[in-house]
Structure 1
């Protein structure tokens, strides 16, 4: 099996956190998004990881060489922003006869047992992993009949289906899949000038191939600050890891404090992850992600996301307040 990981893209919904780094290297629950994804793929018999990158590709390569030096990786640069199907097509030179493919887009951390792929795909040509959602109008959805996908609808007005595509795809015949992408691009089958995978899958279905839509257990979106914090809460459930230095402080589970972080005179948690090199003093922080090398002093933070090398200093208040007082402080 070969895995294609399209990690190009500006990550505009996560700005300013993606101004200086690839969106796949944003942290959540003590790891980068990319590390969460790779760790979920390691039980599979993957022979090579194929990354589709942009100008931040060297960051991704450096991370993989440092964190997963044992994995075989190859990198392809997407020079033109022509859509997801175009990005996947760039890996075609690495796909050989007999290769099966797993395509994983990096806006999403998934919870699913991928070791069941052979069992799920015994009588199918591919799997379009899905998740039933209430707000189906926001997604491309699979229309399933008798266990097979018969149609795909982008952002439907009516609940024709609630099975949203989650950006995780398995194709039994990798070379054949690449040929269908090539046909789609040659035909100029675009949406607003970009090539998308549903057009490719519909060509496969029209040719008589069978695609199924197994549901994943959890779909953890990392594409926006608010959903990144939701994912942080989910991943920290049942975990309480303190590898840093904590002095005269209270930790309210769950929290994840990396080795090299220092917490003093503070209340941290619940649902807080603190990266290495950060120093927090005289502060109260909940439901937040604190990245590397931050200095936070005299602050009260909730539902906050701090990038790398941030200095945040507040000021303590001294008060002498009599009976029956009402104090409201907006700032």
Structure 2
């Protein structure tokens, strides 16, 4: 199997954290988004990882070489931002006749058993992984007849389907799928000037291809600060890992503290991940992600996201307050 991972894109919804960093290298629950995804692919036999990158691509290739040196990787640059289908098509030189193909977009971390692919796809040409959602109006959805997809609707006004596409796709015939993308591009089938995969799949369905829409167990959005914190909370559930130095502090589970981090005279948690090199003193932090090499002193942080090498230093207060006082201290 070949895997295409489109990791280009500026990650504008995650700014300022993506001004200097590829969005797939943002941390959540003690690892980068990309590391979470790659680890979820280790249970299947992947011959080659095909990355579609942009001008931050060197960061991605360096990360893979350092953290997953045994994996065969190739890299193709998307110079023109012409949409996700265009990005996938750039991996064509690595997809040969006979290759099956998995496409994994990096805005989300998926939870599903990929070892079931062959069983799920025994009587179909591909899988378009889905998740039932309440706010179906925000997504492209799959419309089923039995187990087979018969239509796809982008942001429907009525609940014709609640099965949202989650950005995870499997194709038995990878080269045939690339050819269908190229045919869609040649036909100029764009939405606001960009090429999207639903048009490709509908072209294939019209030609007689059969796709199923298995539901994943969890769909963890990493595209915005607020959803990144929700994903951090989900991934930390049941995990309480303290590898750094903790002195005179209270940790409220779950908390993930990497080796090389130091915490002193603080209250940390719940749902906090602190990366290596960070020093937390005299502070209270909950529901937050603290990345590498930060210094945080005399702060109260909640639902916060700190990038790398941040110095955040407050000051202690001395008070002399009489009986029956009512004091409100604005943030």
TM-score, shorter chain, exceeding 0.5: yes
Rounded Cα–Cα distance in structure 2 between residues aligned with 1:222 and 1:175? 30
Q: CA deviation at 1:71?
A: 0.3
Counterpart of 1:275 in structure 2 is: 275
Q: Secondary structure at the match of 2:308?
A: coil
Matched, 1:63 2:63: yes
Q: CA deviation at 1:146?
A: 1.2
Residue 234 of structure 1: how far off its partner (Å) = 0.2
The answer for the alignment partner of 1:20 in structure 2 is: 20
- Report the Cα offset of residue 3 of structure 1: 0.2
What is the distance in 1 between the residues matched to 2:182 and 2:312? 50
Give the length in aligned residue pairs: 331
What is the alpha-carbon distance in structure 1 between the residues aligned to residue 146 and residue 156 of structure 2? 21
Specify the alignment match of 2:232 in structure 1: 232
Q: In the alignment, what sits opposite 1:323?
A: 323
Matched, 1:127 2:152: no
Deviation at 1:292, TM superposition (A): 0.2
1:210 Cα shift?
0.4
Q: Which residue of 2 aligns with 1:93?
A: 93
State the Cα distance separating 1:322 from its structure 2 match: 1.2
Q: CA deviation at 1:29?
A: 0.1
Provide the rounded CA distance (Å) in 2 between the counterparts of 1:124 and 1:44: 19
Three-state SS of the structure 2 residue aligned to 1:75 is: strand
User: What are the within-5 Å matches in structure 2 for residues 62-81 of structure 1?
Assistant: 62-81=62-81
Shift, 1:41, TM fit = 0.3
SS at 2:129's partner residue? strand
1:64-110: CA deviation from partner (whole Å, max 9, x where unpaired)? 00000000000000000000000000000111111000000000000
The aligned residue for residue 190 of structure 1 is 190
2:144 corresponds in structure 1 to 144
Cα deviation digits, residues 17-70 of structure 1 (max 9, x gap)? 000000000000000000000000011100000000000000000000000000
| Inter-partner Cα distance in structure 1 for 2:218 and 2:270 | 21
1:300-311 equivalences under 5 Å are 300-311=300-311
Map residues 177-216 of structure 1 onto 2, 5 A cutoff: 177-216=177-216
Structure 2 distance, partners of 1:280, 1:7, is 32
Cα distance, 1:152 vs structure 2? 0.3
Structure 1: how far apart are the matches of 2:238 and 2:188?
A: 49
Q: C-alpha separation between the residues in 1 aligned to 2:58 and 2:89?
A: 20
Q: Distance in 2 between matches of 1:249 and 1:107?
A: 35
Secondary structure at 2:246's aligned position in 1? strand
Counterpart of 2:173? 173
**Which consecutive aligned stretches of 4+ in structure 1 deviate over 4 angstroms post-superposition?**
none
- Structure 1 distance, partners of 2:120, 2:212, is 8
What's the Cα RMSD here? 0.4
Which range moved further: 99-108 or 319-328? 319-328
- After TM superposition, the score normalised by the length of structure 2 is 1.00
